[in-house]
Amino acid sequence: MAAPVHTKVPRSIRKKPRNYIRELCRKESRYEDTLSTRSSTWNTRISPGILSNGFNRAGASPFSKLSLELKQHIFSFIHVRNDRKAVRLVCMDWRNASEYVFGHEFRTFRVYADAPFLKTLSRLGPNKILRAPPGFEGPKVLLAIQGLIIDHIKYHTRNPKYPPDLKELFRFIPHGQLQLLHFTDTCQIDHLRLLLGGQHNLRHLALPPRVFQFDFECFDEKGLTEFKDHISSCKQLQSLHISIKNTIEDHDAARFIVHALPNLRCLSLDMMRTYNPEPSPGSPFFQNPEQLTKLINLEVLQLTGPWPWCTLDHINFRTLVVLKLRNLRNTSTILRRLNESPQSLADIGTSLRSLEVILAWVFNDTSVRDDLELMIKSFSGLHTLVIYTENNGLINPSTIEPHAASLRHLSINSNGDGDEHCYSAEQVQSILRTCQDLETFAIRLPIHQRDSHDPRSIEGIETGSSLPQILKTIAMLKKLRALRVFYPRSRNSSFDSNHLDLANMLLKVLGYYGSSIELLCTKPIWMSRRYTRACLYYRPKTSIDILGRSQTVALPFPRAEAELSDMEIIFEEYECVNMGPKLDIWVPRLIDSPVF
């Protein structure tokens, strides 16, 4: 979307943009005041040029008469996600204008048990929506939402139950309206059944790890049947993300649920660490064994946790497009089982386009790496390959060669200290010589700073380092759009205190060799699992120094994820501390595009 031409706005309008927008709304008699925010973030985040098309101090046109492009441009200046949560969109005119930025989701921001929002809902009824008190826009918003994300629930520790007023929030949502339901903090089975009972058009259901664990041992047969009936009524469900205990009963119950969803395309399962291989006596989950023998037709499958090898026996790999195996502590077993699967790997290779394997809690086990390399070689035609090998050494570059012609996104990373966990210049050349069509590339580089007082020049790189040669090889990739660099954190390096110096150094070398990348991401690797650092993003820009020489410098790019959302491989976290996907972004993208 092309931004409108910016014009100068009077100082009075720039200082109080909310008042100006409210004045626009008041001039339109058909609409009410449509913005309410929890803070004055607009005062600091508004741009001097967001209002154009001839608006001046003398008067302003009603909001409904503004162009859709200009409305979207106004909403785009709410930068961070916390600001987006705070916005409540009321009338259709504002909602349509904000779909470019906000989509159709509605987030409840920190719903407390004694929150005025829930107390007001409890006093109102469905027939009193139009008579809500002034300034309370909750019921009107609920009439138009298509996605509900319960972002944070805080309850009293003495009575750890859901706030009773939250039921009123669910009752206000019209039946059959929701398409996305996401709990990020906690969930009770009664409230979930209350929502599922009336939302038959639900397409995405997300219950992240350590938030909602299915404990089917606490279910009696009647309760499980009722829950399965509610799930079965959601025939349009396309993506499901749940976390279950690692028991035989839970495996079978999960399969019953999955088999009841004929349109399911994306499945994400998170497994707890405990494992009980023996079923309980009289378990009701083996009453229909012929149903359990059916293969599940999926396009996207993500397994997180210590999943046993038998899980993959129920997946139809002929339809699978994306396979993610994350934090599999018995990884060697499941990889070996996949290699020995009775299904032909030739059939898998015709459909699978994205493969991600993250090893966790597996140390110095060469058999795991051998099984991983064998599995990668068994496939063909991969577009995306993400490998994290923990402390088990790097995979052989020859493993990637079968996918060189089709590979577009590649990420290779490992943990541990020392250059043995980094590819040499010769190995990087061997990989990139065949993978000439890469668009995004993530790799760990041997970054060592010789002089911590002067990191702003190429000479700051340690003598004899292979880094310049590796960067030269990367710069030869003409189709490369984004580069993500992992590097070990060093306490004696000023790169950790000023990441911009590192980005400038990397882009200076890449620009010298003619690279044309659009985005650079730097990510320090901490040796402790308890700590992690956020990724930093930079855009390259060519500048002229005082001597008339051109060089490439780094510009911080905090909105990279919003503006370059098609580079998913750059915005993912591959360390083992990340226990699950960012579902508010992950679910819609997987549905819209089978390959990311």
Q: Quickly state the pLDDT bin for 268 (edges 50, 70, 90).
A: confident
The top-scoring range by mean pLDDT among 33-47, 276-290, 376-390, 543-557 is 376-390
Residues 459 and 390 in one domain: no
Q: Has residue 327 been placed in a domain?
A: yes
Residues 517 and 557 in one domain: yes
Which range has the worst mean pLDDT, 83-92, 346-355, 570-579, 587-596?
587-596
Tally of domains in the chain: 3
Residues 444 and 568 in one domain: yes
Q: How far apart are CA 409 and CA 435, in angstroms?
A: 10
Q: Has residue 361 been placed in a domain?
A: yes
Higher pLDDT, 375 or 45: 375
Q: Quickly state the pLDDT bin for 471 (edges 50, 70, 90).
A: very high
Closest by CA to 355, choosing from 395, 391, 392, 313, is 395
Structure confidence at residue 276 (pLDDT): 44
Which range has the worst mean pLDDT, 187-196, 283-292, 327-336?
283-292
What is the pTM for the complete model shown?
0.68
- On the CB side of 579, CA atoms within 13 Å amount to 17
Mean pLDDT for all residues in the chain: 63
- Beta-carbon count within 10 A of 223 CB: 13
Q: Has residue 270 been placed in a domain?
A: no
Structure confidence at residue 229 (pLDDT): 72
CA 37 from chain centre, in angstroms, equals 25
Range of the domain at 540: 438-574
Higher pLDDT, 26 or 233: 233
Q: Has residue 238 been placed in a domain?
A: no
Positive or negative torsion for Cα 332, 334, 335, 337? positive
Structure confidence at residue 322 (pLDDT): 87
Higher pLDDT, 575 or 197: 197
Averaged pLDDT for residues 220-247: 71
Percentage of the chain lying above the pLDDT 70 cut: 42
Phi-psi region of 495 (alpha: psi -120 to 50; beta: other; left: phi over 0): alpha
Q: Has residue 482 been placed in a domain?
A: yes
* C-alpha dihedral (73, 79, 85, 86), degrees to nearest 10: -80
Closest by CA to 455, choosing from 496, 512, 491, 419, is 496
Structure confidence at residue 222 (pLDDT): 58
| Beta-bridge partners for 205 | 181, 240
Which range has the worst mean pLDDT, 8-22, 92-106, 267-281?
92-106
Question: Tens digits of per-residue pLDDT, 205-217?
Answer: 876 554 444 545 4
Strand spans (E) along 167-265: 180-183, 204-206, 213-214, 239-247
Q: Quickly state the pLDDT bin for 82 (edges 50, 70, 90).
A: very low
For residue 482, which phi and psi values (nearest 5 degrees)?
-140, 145
Please write down the HEC assignment for all residues of 525-545: ECCCCCCCCCCEEEEEEEEEC
Q: Has residue 204 been placed in a domain?
A: no
Percentage of the chain lying above the pLDDT 90 cut: 7
- Beta-carbon count within 10 A of 318 CB: 14
Q: Which of 55, 72, 102 represents a domain boundary (last residue)?
A: 102
Higher pLDDT, 547 or 172: 547
SS3 (DSSP) at 170:
helix
Averaged pLDDT for residues 358-368: 74
Question: Tens digits of per-residue pLDDT, 316-357?
Answer: 777 888 888 887 665 556 777 677 665 555 555 567 888 888
Structure confidence at residue 439 (pLDDT): 92
Q: Which residue has the tokens 């360390």?
A: 575
pLDDT reading at 85 higher than 90: no
CA 467 from chain centre, in angstroms, equals 31
Phi-psi region of 135 (alpha: psi -120 to 50; beta: other; left: phi over 0): left
Exposure string (b/e) for 325-348, b if CB count within 10 Å is 16 or more?
A: bbbbbbbbbbbbbbeebeeebeeb
Residues 391 and 484 in one domain: no
Structure confidence at residue 107 (pLDDT): 47
Residues 546 and 443 in one domain: yes
The top-scoring range by mean pLDDT among 310-314, 345-349, 373-377, 506-510 is 506-510
- Is the separation of the CB atoms in 371 and 335 below 8 Å? yes
**DSSP H/E element including 274:** strand 266-276
Q: Has residue 135 been placed in a domain?
A: no
Closest by CA to 102, choosing from 116, 127, 85, is 85
Structure confidence at residue 486 (pLDDT): 85
Residues 316 and 410 in one domain: yes
Residues 517 and 591 in one domain: no
Residues 469 and 582 in one domain: no
Q: Quickly state the pLDDT bin for 151 (edges 50, 70, 90).
A: low
Number of H helices, E strands in the chain: 22, 19
Q: How far apart are CA 488 and CA 449, in angstroms?
A: 11
Residue 467's identity, in one-letter code, is L
SS3 (DSSP) at 521:
strand
Q: Quickly state the pLDDT bin for 280 (edges 50, 70, 90).
A: very low
Q: Which of 102, 128, 147 represents a domain boundary (last residue)?
A: 102
pLDDT reading at 578 higher than 50: no
Q: Quickly state the pLDDT bin for 166 (edges 50, 70, 90).
A: low
Residues 444 and 555 in one domain: yes
Averaged pLDDT for residues 185-193: 66
Residues 493 and 539 in one domain: yes
Q: Has residue 234 been placed in a domain?
A: no
Q: Which of 84, 102, 120 represents a domain boundary (last residue)?
A: 102
Residues 56 and 84 in one domain: yes
Residues 442 and 568 in one domain: yes
Structure confidence at residue 361 (pLDDT): 66
